[in-house]
Structure 1
Amino acid sequence: MDLLEKMATFARVVDAGSFSAAAKQLRISAAAVSRQIATLEESIGTPLLLRTTRKMTVTDAGRAYYERCVRILRDVESAQSIGREEGVTGLLTVSAPVSFGLACVVPYMGALMHEHPGLRVDLRLEDRFVDLIADAVDVALRVGREPPSSTGFIAHTLVTYERVLVASPAYLKKHGEPKTPEALGKHDALSHPAGNAQDGWLLWRDGGEVRARPNVVFRCNAPFAVRQLALEGTGIAQLPHWLVMDDLRQRTLRVVLPRWLCGSVTATALLRAEHRKNPRVRAFVDHLRAAFAKQTKNTMSHIIDTA
């Protein structure tokens, strides 16, 4: 039996989590799957999977082999697509932060896939620093992180967005609206790592900067949770404009200190240098760039107008 076929079967077993589930997906018997894995382990000389009547566990060697199998199978699929008329086909694996991915990537995936019917996307929403090689990722979206200085990677800027201070009308009615950054020291703050109020919020205006130190009453690593508490009138939050634009339009949130800048954050698409001409990667990056350019047009003037 062809080695690539056995590698594909092994990868399917790991993805499916069991021999029976993989067999069902492959439309072969569980015994046939077991024989392929046993032959593979014999040729490699080490166990890849540990099986009991109740559980299957991937060994350390199996995990390393799985990652290599995924890369090899993807490269083979990419090579096979070279002669096709429709260049944007096959599997594209993307990693993105959870909140940014839900708000700024998922809404544009339908249009991308309608434009390229042969494209399949594996979007992994995860708040961790992925290794493109070890995790078999084609594109990693990074928000507020400097790209690596290695020539082995390429970073494409997707969008640079502003952060804004926001609060609900109910909170401002009850506690009063701060007129200066220093006045924030008398207010409750809702914080997350990208807009950390624990060490103070740094604000800029007319070339000068002020570090405001509000009273942090709630902290969470998920911006969606911080936004929710802001809507409920729990305090003032510093959040990315893409997360609160609809709230500002509906006036369920208001901008606090609109003439002061909270700083911008850049989102980039990181890929391995050898993938710079990959049609799937190019289509994905170009699609997001165009969508973000349209989305952020005249954003700051809108924020000021709705303050």
Structure 2
Amino acid sequence: MDLLDKMATYVRVIESGSFSAAAKHLKLTSGAVSRQIAALEAELDVTLLARSTRSMAVTADGHRYYEHCLRVLREVAEAQAIGRSRGVEGTVRVSAPVSFGLAALMPHVITLRQKHPFLSVELHLEDRLLDAVLEGLDVLVRAGATIPISGGVVARRLTAFPFVLVAAPTYLERRGEPRSPEALVGHDALSCHVGPGPDVWALGDGEREARVGMTETVVFRCSALQGVRELALAGHGLALLPDWFVADDLRRGALYAVLPGWSTDPIPVSAIYRTAQRETPRVRALVDHLVEAFARPAARRAP
């Protein structure tokens, strides 16, 4: 078996998380996969994977070799495509937060596919933080978080959005409408904050800022925006949610803007990818398309 095949097998082992999972995907036996990795390690004279009877861990050398394998295999695939007239092709693997991915990213993935019909998109919707190297992804789309990625990366700004305060008309009829940030104290709060630490809603109107502690009045917490929105729509309290996430609810009157003009500071959204992939056609096509799409006025108002 040639070196490229062994490199491809190694990449599959890392991305699958085990020899058996990689073997199943490659339609090989676990023993055959193990022998390929052992042959690689012998040729390189390094340990790529620290193995025990129950677990497998990637060594520091293994991480570096994985990155080299990805680059080599992708460059080979792109070289094989020279002379074809089909334009950008291949598969670009993207990770995005669940709610943002469904509501704000999916419309632009659809138009990307219309522009590049031979480009396949593999979209992973997940709210957990990821290591792009370990997960074998091409692009991470993330909002406001520090992303633990190994190696040199590029982060391109896509957009930014504030959180706005909303409530259902039924809740406001029952409890009254607060007219200032200080009046929020005592109102039932629906929170996206799960875990230790206080719930503090930091709002500004362009002239002053207010920080309101809501911890004592939170009646529902959910790490998923959808859960908080559902409780808000049902009239169970006030919620601080992204403007793009509630834009349609506000338009149709299902939710009402509380303290209009007050919002959080905008949260930046970036597309993050390896520096080595800056000129990779499928990565560049995806990121350039997203930058252009989010720059349009309609995209800034709502997804």
Q: TM-score interval w.r.t. the shorter chain?
A: 0.7 to 0.9
Structure 1 residues 51 and 93: CA distance shift in structure 2, 3 A: same
1:137 aligns with 2:137: yes
Please report how far the alpha carbon of residue 230 of structure 1 lies from its aligned counterpart in structure 2 after TM superposition. Answer: 0.8
Tell me whether 245-254 or 203-212 shows the greater mean CA deviation: 203-212
Please report how far the alpha carbon of residue 100 of structure 1 lies from its aligned counterpart in structure 2 after TM superposition. Answer: 1.5
Give per-residue Cα distances to partners, 1:136-195, cap 9 Å, x unaligned.
3221112013689x993222110111221011111111111111111100201111149x
Is the 8 Å Cα contact of residues 197 and 216 (structure 1) preserved in structure 2?
Answer: no
RMSD (CA atoms) = 3.5
How many pairs align?
287
How far apart, CA to CA, are the structure 2 residues paired with 1:178 and 1:193?
A: 22
1:236 to 225, 228, 238: 238
Give the match for residue 44 of structure 1.
41
Q: TM-score if structure 1 supplies the norm length?
A: 0.78
Is the 8 Å Cα contact of residues 50 and 57 (structure 2) preserved in structure 1?
Answer: no
Structure 1 residues 40 and 248: CA distance shift in structure 2, 3 A: same
Is the 8 Å Cα contact of residues 171 and 236 (structure 2) preserved in structure 1?
Answer: yes
Q: TM-score if structure 2 supplies the norm length?
A: 0.79
Aligned-partner SS, 1:203: strand
Is the 8 Å Cα contact of residues 139 and 271 (structure 2) preserved in structure 1?
Answer: yes
Give the match for residue 229 of structure 2.
227
Is the 8 Å Cα contact of residues 11 and 70 (structure 1) preserved in structure 2?
Answer: yes
How far apart, CA to CA, are the structure 2 residues paired with 1:119 and 1:274?
A: 20
Structure 1 residues 61 and 84: CA distance shift in structure 2, 3 A: same
How far apart, CA to CA, are the structure 1 residues paired with 2:39 and 2:205?
A: 68
Write the letter of the residue equivalent to 2:259.
L
Structure 1 residues 266 and 296: CA distance shift in structure 2, 3 A: farther
Please report how far the alpha carbon of residue 202 of structure 1 lies from its aligned counterpart in structure 2 after TM superposition. Answer: 1.6
Q: Which runs of 4+ in 1 moved over 6 A?
A: 46-52
Give the match for residue 114 of structure 1.
114
Give the match for residue 60 of structure 1.
57
Aligned-partner SS, 2:270: strand
How far apart, CA to CA, are the structure 2 residues paired with 1:97 and 1:86?
A: 31
Structure 1 residues 18 and 243: CA distance shift in structure 2, 3 A: same
How far apart, CA to CA, are the structure 1 residues paired with 2:139 and 2:218?
A: 35
Structure 1 residues 51 and 205: CA distance shift in structure 2, 3 A: closer
Structure 1 residues 166 and 113: CA distance shift in structure 2, 3 A: same
Please report how far the alpha carbon of residue 50 of structure 1 lies from its aligned counterpart in structure 2 after TM superposition. Answer: 8.4
Please report how far the alpha carbon of residue 244 of structure 1 lies from its aligned counterpart in structure 2 after TM superposition. Answer: 0.7
Is the 8 Å Cα contact of residues 182 and 213 (structure 1) preserved in structure 2?
Answer: no
Unmatched 5+ stretches in structure 1 = 24-29, 301-307
Structure 1 residues 167 and 2: CA distance shift in structure 2, 3 A: same
Structure 1 residues 76 and 192: CA distance shift in structure 2, 3 A: same
How far apart, CA to CA, are the structure 2 residues paired with 1:153 and 1:92?
A: 17
Q: Note the 1:252-267 alignment, pairs <5 A.
A: 252-267=254-269
Give the match for residue 4 of structure 1.
4
Structure 1 residues 282 and 250: CA distance shift in structure 2, 3 A: same
Please report how far the alpha carbon of residue 256 of structure 1 lies from its aligned counterpart in structure 2 after TM superposition. Answer: 0.5
Structure 1 residues 145 and 48: CA distance shift in structure 2, 3 A: closer
Tell me whether 223-232 or 100-109 shows the greater mean CA deviation: 100-109
Is the 8 Å Cα contact of residues 88 and 116 (structure 1) preserved in structure 2?
Answer: yes
Aligned-partner SS, 2:296: helix
Structure 1 residues 88 and 176: CA distance shift in structure 2, 3 A: same
Tell me whether 121-130 or 5-14 shows the greater mean CA deviation: 5-14
Give per-residue Cα distances to partners, 1:101-124, cap 9 Å, x unaligned.
222222322221232122122222
Structure 1 residues 187 and 20: CA distance shift in structure 2, 3 A: closer
Q: Note the 1:154-165 alignment, pairs <5 A.
A: 154-165=154-165
Give per-residue Cα distances to partners, 1:222-274, cap 9 Å, x unaligned.
11111111111111111001111111112111110002232211101112223
How far apart, CA to CA, are the structure 1 residues paired with 2:185 and 2:225?
A: 22
Please report how far the alpha carbon of residue 17 of structure 1 lies from its aligned counterpart in structure 2 after TM superposition. Answer: 2.2
Write the letter of the residue equivalent to 2:250.
L
Aligned-partner SS, 1:155: strand
Write the letter of the residue equivalent to 1:181.
P
Structure 1 residues 67 and 173: CA distance shift in structure 2, 3 A: farther
Is the 8 Å Cα contact of residues 189 and 217 (structure 1) preserved in structure 2?
Answer: yes
2:292 to 285, 290, 302: 290
How far apart, CA to CA, are the structure 2 residues paired with 1:133 and 1:18?
A: 17
How far apart, CA to CA, are the structure 2 residues paired with 1:297 and 1:121?
A: 21
Write the letter of the residue equivalent to 2:109.
M
Give the match for residue 128 of structure 1.
128
Give per-residue Cα distances to partners, 1:254-305, cap 9 Å, x unaligned.
11000223221110111222322222122212222333233646739xxxxx
How far apart, CA to CA, are the structure 2 residues paired with 1:222 and 1:209?
A: 27
